[in-house]
Amino acid sequence: MEICAREHPPFLTGVKRVTAGVLATAMLVTLTATTGASQAAAQSDPRAARSDALGVALFGASPGTSGVSLPSSGGSAAEAPPRVDCRRVKCVALTFDDGPGRYTDTLLRHLAKYQARATFFVVGSNVVTYPRVLRRTVAAGHEIGNHTWSHPLLTRLPASRVRSQIARTDRAVKAVAGVVPHLVRPPYGAFNRAVRRQISRPLVLWSVDTLDWRYRNSATVARRALRSVRPGSIILFHDIHRTTVGAMPRVLKTLAQRGYHFVTVTELFGGRPPHVAFRAAPPKKS
């Protein structure tokens, strides 16, 4: 699986492998039972297919059945009952990391045009730099997730600093926008058992990686998103890149034409995301 955000120093290559290894050891036993959908995906993007298959293997029985107790505080729009039933219709969760930033407002306009809801995994230090942007994001009905205060590699931090990275961001989001994030996305997608113990909320990874931090070209970003998306996908973008925001009109238009509903991560899982989420199960055929 690919790792989120920013150019990565060479040492992170090892981290990716370690992370994938941890996941593989813990979870991948059933992965050989690949679904038809992910076999098809494998032809276009083996890595995305692997992530998708992992999600299906872990959480495929039915979305929303693996119980987690969400914090009751917050009052974000994401707490409202899901508007669509993703067990019955095609859903996709667009997720945007590392903001808010200077291009986020433009992204909000693109999303509004399609009545699309998305999930923003915000960095606390950017929240205090762009407070009004975050307020507009919440007001538009999007879900806010916690992406730590300063984007460190959590697997290298002591437990107390893992907790403070999350708590400080929670406080900033609450102070600025009046909501508390119910979801966490660890920077670079990197976590282990020690990190997991410090974070009781769902950890949200992704099943489609656009690598938009590497491909600073809107057409490429759109193509990478569109070729791997499946019902139930969680797509990783970064709204700190102009080229990513520039890709969104095409992504939204094409997916809308394909019949997708654009939902928040919490909606994608029927209001109850699992402890570790890569994607949701596709809708049942009726």
204 part of the interface to Ni ion, by CB under 5 A? no
d(CA 37, CA 58): 15
Known active-site residue 97: yes
Beta strand pairing status for 203-204 and 143-146? unpaired
d(CA 63, CA 72): 20
Q: Looking at beta carbons only, is 5 or 162 nearer to Ni ion?
A: 5
| HSE-CB for 53 with a 13 A CA cutoff | 23
Write the burial class of residue 43 (CB in 10 Å: 0-12 exposed, 13-18 middle, 19+ buried): exposed
- The residue from 52, 97, 98, 239 that is catalytic is 97
Q: Min. distance of Cβ 125 from Ni ion in angstroms?
A: 12
Q: Min. distance of Cβ 176 from Ni ion in angstroms?
A: 19
Q: Min. distance of Cβ 97 from Ni ion in angstroms?
A: 4
98 part of the interface to Ni ion, by CB under 5 A? yes
Instruction: State whether the Cα torsion 187-193-197-198 is positive or negative.
Output: negative
Q: Looking at beta carbons only, is 98 or 209 nearer to Ni ion?
A: 98
DSSP code of 160? H
The tokens describing 179, both together, are 């909501």
Closest Cα partner for 28 from 64, 1, 3, 2?
1
5 part of the interface to Ni ion, by CB under 5 A? yes
Binding region for Ni ion (CB under 5 A) out of 24-32, 92-100, 202-210, 266-274? 92-100
Closest Cα partner for 230 from 114, 113, 86, 107?
86
Choosing from 1, 2, 3, 4, the residue that interacts with Ni ion (CB under 5 A) is: 4
Q: Looking at beta carbons only, is 9 or 259 nearer to Ni ion?
A: 9
- The residue from 110, 151, 238, 241 that is catalytic is 238
Convert residues 174-193 into a mask of x (bound to Ni ion by CB under 5 A) and - (unbound): -------------x------
Phi, psi of 202 (to 5 degrees): -60, 135
d(CA 189, CA 174): 24
Other C-beta atoms lying within 10 Å of the C-beta of residue 286: 5
Q: Give the SS3 label for residue 92.
A: strand
Known active-site residue 238: yes
Q: Min. distance of Cβ 61 from Ni ion in angstroms?
A: 30
Q: Min. distance of Cβ 102 from Ni ion in angstroms?
A: 16
2 part of the interface to Ni ion, by CB under 5 A? no
Binding region for Ni ion (CB under 5 A) out of 54-62, 77-85, 88-96, 97-105? 97-105
97 part of the interface to Ni ion, by CB under 5 A? yes
Which residue has the closest beta carbon to Ni ion? 5
Residues binding Ni ion (CB under 5 A): 4-5, 97-98, 187
Active site residues: 97, 238
